[in-house]
Structure 1
């Protein structure tokens, strides 16, 4: 296809996204399910070209902004508090699933080398950040479970990609060193954290000097790709670098963004992430036709691959159950032996965690990047696609039902001490103190009585004002400057409560948005 036809196909794809999202809403289905099945159906429409996905290009285009969006809004305090559980899922569960799938693949296909079996396990082991976001947005989970799943989705791609890299290298070279692999893994992670943290720090310094809303938003958009590309160029984990940069930017955006930048950037990111997620699932669906053509058609799949593929898909699902319930069982034993610092999930929460293991674009992109000389490559491609289809269609559609059946037996005891109402009261007190400090002249005369009472409108104040036009303008400016000063005081109190651990990120974002809107309204009225 020429470039114009490619562009027309992209526009047609996004028009299909709108229709499929509407269908999903009417049928009460997760949008990811509608997009995946719709893309798969459209791939076989006569006359449409076969979509060929460049795996490296897909990862570098889609993964950084979607990881950045997840990291940006991650509750950092909860993330640190549950880091052991997150690493258990993001590293332990990925390694364990890789091992289980490798053993099952070797038993089913004895002729397949161990390195190839390990590569297959690494392909299908990491749950996908995009799939998790798409499904978790539609369900309500206890805070601890939500933190664990969101944290896992940010970090597990790095573990899976590293395992895949070593497995392919072992297959091609015929050698493998466990100590060398472990050292390289640590280097990739630590290096990724350092690169991402440095780029996040540069972003903070840059934004404090740009002084232009549009430039600040552009810089914010570019930081995710900058971190990912820099990490890959320096031979560390681009995934970890992007997450580290996102966590840094998300922490400091409350103090470096003006209200107008924060609201515009958030609106822009919402649209960008929506289009990115939709395109990912459509491309996965579109790729079905290419995968089937590559392996010889549907008949070949059913005749020669159906049995092993289904058993490997089952192994992927069962392995997560074994890991989650196994770790939870160990925590129960430790608690019974007097180790009070551990807190098991409980059967209901462990069931939810086990069932929430959807795969997506990373699994497909990594499978498509397999060398042509890799033994069992066709079977690996079909298996990767089957894992995506089963986990998204089956687990994604039924996760809500599983949550209702399992119950919510997990409550985070380390919740911040202030609720929304208490935080609001603290903000209001800080604002009132700022207004009281600015609403009186040196001789005690009230300059802004309408602000203290909060009942008069601007029109009423304008109609009742007596004085020259210049005095009226100065009074209006002073009026709204006082409102903006009150907003600044309220925001400072809000950030201080968040930094002290008195409120969580959800309350911070809710009240910060109210203050931003109040500031923009005052600035617009003043202008």
Structure 2
């Protein structure tokens, strides 16, 4: 390990420089990182680093999923739950079946079971890639929420498919009733374990005498604890991490102190930035090992690439068809049930939604976890070919879809949905509500202080500006106490507003909550 340390250090520096370049030229960093890793792997003097799938499954996947669950809007996720669930479970399952039959038809030696295994590997789109690409263009908020929500759940569904396909390949048979019970346990067990451990961890934060450093360390070990606990009882560790992350994120203002929340934001943003960069970089670095395996299997590079492009085309076409299918189902079902959005999205939205199916880290990890030998000692059939096809799918979708998606978005000019108030309108509403609540609180509880105290009088006269003010004049202890009470009141009002007002964008709410935390931190530092 130490012999490779200079290379690892250089890799991290290269990742930072590549991401700087991606920001400069407005190309999503996952694309550049994969290509850079691929080019660097072809340099003869570069050490051949063997990538263990457990590195990705245990070291990378839990924190990436946990952070995604922590930052997503639960309100928006619940609002779009039907389409998110359909893409995360139904579409993933149909994609795996499609890949199974196409692979069986066009790739010699690939049985339906092996095709289903390949389908489970390549079926989940990667949210990091889509998010990085969408940062450079303006898209409707609903689309980003659907993509983020789908990615939280499709990893779990695809890995479940992968496990069942592994059983079928290894044993040569598939018992449907046993598979159904096992599938049910993986889903239900993963959800229960995630919620239960999330609740226990929340109580740890509330009952133990922690500070910001200890709270941050607890949040860092939380995803690993939840993942390993769920995997130990053969349920879905991925789903457990997602459920635990959603639960803790929803209750974060009930158990995390102000300073801990601010510290967590900085630590987690840096950690996830680094982990995402490393994962996409090592996808490119893994090519030499994959090519060696392909040669040992006696399959030409050109033929294997052809198979990979066939599967890539199947995935792209299948997702677009699924997107149109989701629209048709929604338009039909709106006659019988209340749906989140009953308007006709036209032909543009399904194409864009279908074109966001870039593959990434989960597909690589699943492919690498295929054992070299079956339990009976025979080589795993076409393992190296499946690995190479997975690499072609990841690289192909990142380059083909990743580079053309921004062009497609600009050309189509998607409609501006009125799901939320415009940011300036939401800001005005929140300022007015906070000012009104704060003034009522002062007039009811501290009417005398408001008249006599200079600082409170100033707050009353200019409350809308106070949240972002940088007034360094010394405040009395009594004024500080009253001000902190009011900030706490404002936080509760914002959280309530977020939960009761569907059209209020949670991103705007979070900006104000962050400002309140910063303001409290500034006042506390002077106490």
**Structure-2 residue corresponding to 1:72:** 70
* 8 Å Cα contact 2:65/2:242 also seen in 1: yes
- RMSD of aligned Cα (Å): 2.6
Seen in structure 2, the aligned counterparts of structure 1 residues 96 and 412 have a Cα distance that, compared at 3 Å, is farther
**Structure-1 residue corresponding to 2:433:** 426
Aligned length in residues: 509
Q: Among 405, 409, 412, which residue is 1:406 paired with? A: 412
Q: Among 428, 451, 456, which residue is 2:456 paired with? A: 451
Seen in structure 2, the aligned counterparts of structure 1 residues 349 and 39 have a Cα distance that, compared at 3 Å, is same
**Structure-2 residue corresponding to 1:55:** 53
**Structure-1 residue corresponding to 2:166:** 168
**Structure-1 residue corresponding to 2:362:** 362
* 8 Å Cα contact 1:187/1:236 also seen in 2: yes
Q: Distance in 2 between matches of 1:315 and 1:127?
A: 14
Q: Distance in 1 between matches of 2:498 and 2:482?
A: 24
Q: Which runs of 5+ in 2 are unaligned?
A: 373-378
Deviations 1:130-180 (A, max 9, x none): 333433444432122122111110000111111111111111101112333
- Structure 1 residue 285: Cα displacement: 1.2
Q: Distance in 2 between matches of 1:63 and 1:458?
A: 40
Q: Among 26, 29, 32, which residue is 1:28 paired with? A: 26
Q: Which runs of 5+ in 1 are unaligned?
A: 463-474
* 8 Å Cα contact 1:75/1:504 also seen in 2: no
TM-score, with length taken from structure 1: 0.90
Structure 2 residue matching 1:64: 3-state secondary structure:
helix
* 8 Å Cα contact 2:190/2:237 also seen in 1: yes
Q: Distance in 1 between matches of 2:97 and 2:514?
A: 46
* 8 Å Cα contact 1:346/1:409 also seen in 2: no
Q: Distance in 1 between matches of 2:302 and 2:194?
A: 47
**Structure-1 residue corresponding to 2:375:** none
- Structure 1 residue 299: Cα displacement: 10
Deviations 1:306-352 (A, max 9, x none): 322211111111111121112322333445x6766473543211111
* 8 Å Cα contact 2:125/2:358 also seen in 1: yes
Bigger shift: residues 204-213 or 94-103: 204-213
Deviations 1:424-447 (A, max 9, x none): 221222233344456555xx7844
**Structure-2 residue corresponding to 1:465:** none
Q: Distance in 2 between matches of 1:150 and 1:446?
A: 50
* 8 Å Cα contact 1:349/1:409 also seen in 2: no
Seen in structure 2, the aligned counterparts of structure 1 residues 332 and 495 have a Cα distance that, compared at 3 Å, is closer
Q: Distance in 1 between matches of 2:307 and 2:44?
A: 31
Seen in structure 2, the aligned counterparts of structure 1 residues 445 and 258 have a Cα distance that, compared at 3 Å, is closer
Matches within 5 A, 1:78-117: 78-117=76-115
Matches within 5 A, 1:87-486: 87-209=85-207, 210-296=209-295, 301-335=300-334, 341=339, 343=342, 345-372=345-372, 373-409=379-415, 411=417, 413=419, 419-436=426-443, 439-441=446-448, 446-454=451-459, 476-486=476-486
Seen in structure 2, the aligned counterparts of structure 1 residues 412 and 149 have a Cα distance that, compared at 3 Å, is farther
- Structure 1 residue 460: Cα displacement: 9.2
